[in-house]
Structure 1
Amino acid sequence: MTRGKTTEQSQPRGWVSFVGSGPGDPGLLTVRAVELLKRADVVVTELPDHAELVRVVRGATEGGPELVDGGFGEDGQPLTHAARAKVVVKQAKRGLRVVRLMSGDPFLYASGPEEAQACVKAGLAFEIVPGVSSVNAVPAYAGIPLTTKDNREVAVVTCGDKVDWTQYSDARTLVLLSAVGQIGEVSKALVAAGRSPETPVAMTRVGTTTEQATVTSTLAGIAADARAARMAPPAVTVVGDVVGMRDALSWFETKPLFGWRVLVPRTKEQAASLSERLRGYGAVPDEVPTISVEPPRNPQQMDKAVRGLVEGSYEWIAFTSVNAVKAVREKFEEYGLDARAFSGLKIAAVGDKTAQAIADWGLRADLVPSGEQSAAGLLEDWPEYDELLDPINRVFLPRADIATENLVAGLIDLGWECDDVTAYRTVRAAPPPPETREAIKTGKFDAVVFTSSSTVRNLVGIAGKPHPSTVIAVIGPATAKTAEEHGLRVDVLSPTPDIEVLVDALADFGAARRIAMVEAGQPVTKPSDRKPSSRRRAKAE
């Protein structure tokens, strides 16, 4: 009997975490929510967007949790609270770590209490991780405070229920849920209860996301204005004088690139910092790789150079890209070497990003251009060879197969001998999916950010030219020249060849464009919203 008891007790026990996902913005997840999603074996979702949310949180890690749809059944119909509870209990009984991902907060206008009770009946342990509720998050993203020093009372009303509107005749702020379809009736009922027809009203759909849209009106006009704006669920409606503060406090929808779909012709790995900065300005980056980095066809030259580095044959190694750092590091790992092999060797980096890649390896760049971060800038600061001070006159230059010869020629002019070694090859990537190519050609993208001449050539080669309505932003004069040679008109030129500065320049362009529309009394639109028939891309004359 003892043996039988032990077997029973050793059965794996599941654990359920009811996690609030907030109203839509992944940045509103709590630290605990992110931690649990990263460790989960199973995630029971509630909304179609939850699968992407899990991917964003976990990054590009392979495997990932099993995703189970907790929102709809196999027949495509929404699951009842009881049916959802059965799904959660079934998964937890497998002895796995289950995250039940719920929109908003699990215990606020959600089925969390019913599902947690089902866990209690099944003898399953659980925890509740609160989430940011749309009740306060959506108005905040619309620039509408729910309380002020003069008005401290707020009432939240679900309009799907039978509501006695006479109890809301006073001046307190109302937050209405599920009001889109019946806002006309609700408005009439509030006016009949004693509210002024001129009471300000704001309706915000898909709040906290880059698709957010807000209509401001009055109780007398909101029904017609919401219809004209084609407002649809999910939406949160605020009634009260606090709506008037939106003109001054709107911060999200007024971001310079709000809702712009921006094409980034780089891999997700390469575009991480660029895309993050675009998101900060309200844009939606879409990474499309145009090049693929591959090892050199003949690795012998690289092998010989690395052996020479270890044996002390070089005075300098010059890295002209992050990919060059990666290629040398991979070769070191192949040979079982580490950063100690660089002892006594001077290291040059073409710019701050490359210097950071070197630092991530545990090394420090001895030379980074003080001015322009380019091969020309590197040459400006590179010392001449001095046979009295420099025991060795050789430079190891691991580069791409398509790199220019300017750096090599400049080093030779300074008295150095240069081993110009192909460390990696850049080849054109496969074409993007048909829907992406169609979006590029038909102007569905609001802007495209080119970070090199090769990204221009390769994007046009694999996907065609961007539509005339698309704003073209480039990192420097050489890239601008290549864009113009391909029939593209450059709208934004970065003042310095830096990715972050380039994004800032695009944001400045977007901000100026927005201000011009507001001052002209025009509705603020995105480049993809406009009819571009009058715009033409032309080669610079």
Structure 2
Amino acid sequence: MTTQITSQTTPGWFAGLGVGPGQPGLLPVASLDVLRGADVIYAPRSRVSQASVALAALRDLDFPAGRVQEIEFLMDGDDARIGGHYAALAEQIAGQQRQGLNVAYLTIGDAMTYSTLGYLVSALRRAAPDLPRRVLPGVTSYAAAAALTGFPLGEGRERVLILPCPDELAELRADIASHDVVVLMKVGRRLPVVLDLLSELGLLEHCALAHRLGLDGEVILPSLESLRSDTLPDGPDAARLGYLSVLLIRGVRPGRFA
């Protein structure tokens, strides 16, 4: 889509949208309204994925899919490369806004919870502080996982910790010991050793896991009592069960399970 640039052109808006964990029905109505008014819709995907997971969360919904542009997102641990990547994307989006185009950017789960959108919003703030932008929240993967498994994320004055899985098991052990509930994200390849730790602590029956919520290969486990690192579920996604997964852990407190 092209727009003639004149001094009278009204800048378009930018909106970052959390599209939920995977189920199309969990997209907020406000976000769907924004999508329908967007001229450009950026759908990020990882370099190891054939398609955008965020875009898959919109399947069967009525929105202008012909305006979607899939782009790779960068999360390789190199702060300089990440910064450069999102600075360049911010300049591109700012240019589109100045042409009068409305731009939406999709992100899986919630818009600002362990999301690449945070990098982009910061870059836009630096590159184009004068242009309109907003962020609409979405449903987090752990909220959906808790609802599907009947796992209370917090009761009374319980302390809840949300974190990416540590590389060092000693850190995770300490986190579990000091909190009532631990929400473990970005588990990935560490899943087998995490399961071993939970087994050692006697917590497997008090944990739940959700994998690829609402997507092909979905796995929902309300309890991990029968799960061990050497008995992962059979199937094509068995080796990758830790990816696109959230693990809910409840530590044992005196009398908690009496």
Whether 1:181 and 2:189 are equivalent positions in the alignment is yes
Is the 1:19–1:100 contact (alpha carbons within 8 Å) kept by the matching residues of 2?
Answer: yes
The answer as to 2:129 corresponding to 1:131 is no
Matches within 5 A, 1:402-481: none
Distance 2:114 2:227 in 1: 28
The answer for the alignment partner of 2:159 in structure 1 is 153
- Report the residue type matching 1:67 in the other structure: V
User: Are residues 1:144 and 2:151 paired?
Assistant: yes
Q: Partner of 2:106: helix, strand, or coil?
A: strand
Q: Are the counterparts in 2 of residues 37 and 58 from structure 1 also a CA contact under 8 Å?
A: no
| Corresponding position of 2:180 | 172
Q: Is 1:106–2:111 an aligned residue pair?
A: yes
Tell me if structure 2 keeps the 8 A contact 1:183–1:222: no
1:430-477: CA deviation from partner (whole Å, max 9, x where unpaired) = xxxxxxxxxxxxxxxxxxxxxxxxxxxxxxxxxxxxxxxxxxxxxxxx
- Range 31-40 or range 12-21, more displaced: 12-21
SS at match of 2:20: coil
Q: What is the Cα deviation at residue 127 of structure 1? A: 0.2
- How much identity, in percent, do the aligned residues show? 21
Of residues 57, 60, 64 in structure 2, which corresponds to 1:56? 60
2:36 corresponds, among 35, 38, 54, to 38
Superposed displacement of residue 126, structure 1: 0.7
RMSD between aligned alpha carbons? Answer: 3.2
- Code of the residue aligned with 2:152 in structure 1: it is P
- CA shift, 1:9, in A, is 4.3
Task: Report the alpha carbon displacement of residue 87 of structure 1 after superposing the two structures with TM.
Answer: 2.5
Letter of the 2:122 counterpart: Q
Following TM superposition, by how much is the alpha carbon of 1:83 offset from its aligned partner in structure 2, in angstroms?
Answer: 1.8
- Distance of 1:209 and 1:64 partners within structure 2: 19
Using the TM superposition, give the Cα deviation of residue 28 of structure 1 relative to its aligned residue in structure 2, in angstroms: 0.9
TM-score by length of 1: 0.37
* Alignment-mate amino acid for residue 114 of structure 1: Y
Determine the C-alpha separation between the residues in 1 that align with 2:126 and 2:213. Answer: 36
The one-letter code matched in structure 1 to 2:21 is P
Shift of residue 37, structure 1, vs aligned partner: 0.5
Alignment of 1:66 with 2:67, yes or no, is yes
8 A contact 1:203–1:238 mirrored in 2: yes
Partner residue, 1:437: none
Amino acid in the other structure paired with 2:192: G
Deviation at 1:179, TM superposition (A): 1.8
Are the equivalent residues in 2 in contact too, given 1:106–1:112 (CA < 8 A)? Answer: yes
Aligned equivalents of 1:111 and 1:101: distance in 2?
A: 10
User: For 1:303-314, what aligned pairs fall within 5 Å after superposition?
Assistant: none
**In structure 2, do the counterparts of structure 1 residues 18 and 72 end up closer, same or farther at CA, with 3 Å as the change threshold?**
closer
Q: Which residues in structure 2 correspond to 1:111-510 (within 5 Å)?
A: 111-123=116-128, 124-149=131-156, 152-159=158-165, 164-165=171-172, 166-170=174-178, 172-189=180-197, 195-196=201-202, 200-209=206-215, 211-215=217-221, 216-218=223-225, 221-226=227-232, 228=234, 230=238, 231-240=241-250
Q: Is the 8 A contact 1:104 1:133 kept in 2?
A: yes
Contact 2:18 2:138 (8 Å CA) reproduced: yes
Summarize the Cα distance change of 1:171–1:224 in structure 2 as closer, same or farther, 3 Å threshold. Answer: farther
Q: Contact conserved, 2:207 with 2:248, CA < 8 A, in 1? A: yes
SS at match of 1:226: coil
Q: Which residue number corresponds to residue 91 of structure 2?
A: 89
- TM-score scaled to structure 2, two decimals? 0.72
Deviation at 1:92, TM superposition (A): 3.6
> Per-residue displacement from partner, 1:62-82 (whole Å, max 9, x unpaired)?
x65522223358xxxxx9464
What residue number does 1:13 align with? 11
User: For residues 148 and 210 of structure 1, what CA distance do their matches in structure 2 show?
Assistant: 32
Q: Please tell me the residue identity of whatever aligns with 2:71.
A: G
Aligned to 1:27: 25
What SS class does the counterpart of residue 181 from structure 1 fall into? helix
1:122 counterpart letter in structure 2: A
User: What CA distance in whole angstroms lies between the structure 1 residues aligned with 2:178 and 2:125?
Assistant: 42
More helix by share: 1
C-alpha distance in structure 2 between counterparts of 1:217 and 1:55, whole Å: 31
Alpha-carbon distance change, 14 to 93 in structure 1, aligned in 2, over 3 angstroms: farther
- Contact 1:13/1:92, CA 8 A, preserved across alignment: no
Q: Which runs of 5+ in 2 are unaligned?
A: 46-51, 75-80, 253-258
TM-aligned CA deviation for residue 161 of structure 1: 5.1
Aligned-partner SS, 2:229: helix
- Contact 1:42–1:65 (CA under 8 A) maintained in structure 2: no
* Change in 2 beyond 3 A, CA 1:103/1:112: same
Q: Distance in 2 between matches of 1:146 and 1:86?
A: 38
**Structure 1 gap ranges (5+):** 1-6, 74-78, 243-541
Query: Per-residue displacement from partner, 1:303-342 (whole Å, max 9, x unpaired)?
Result: xxxxxxxxxxxxxxxxxxxxxxxxxxxxxxxxxxxxxxxx
Taking the aligned partners of 1:200 and 1:28, their CA distance within structure 2 comes to 26
- Whether the 8 Å contact between 2:21 and 2:57 is mirrored in structure 1 is no
Contact residue 191 and residue 242 of structure 2 kept, 8 A: no
* Greater gyration radius: 1
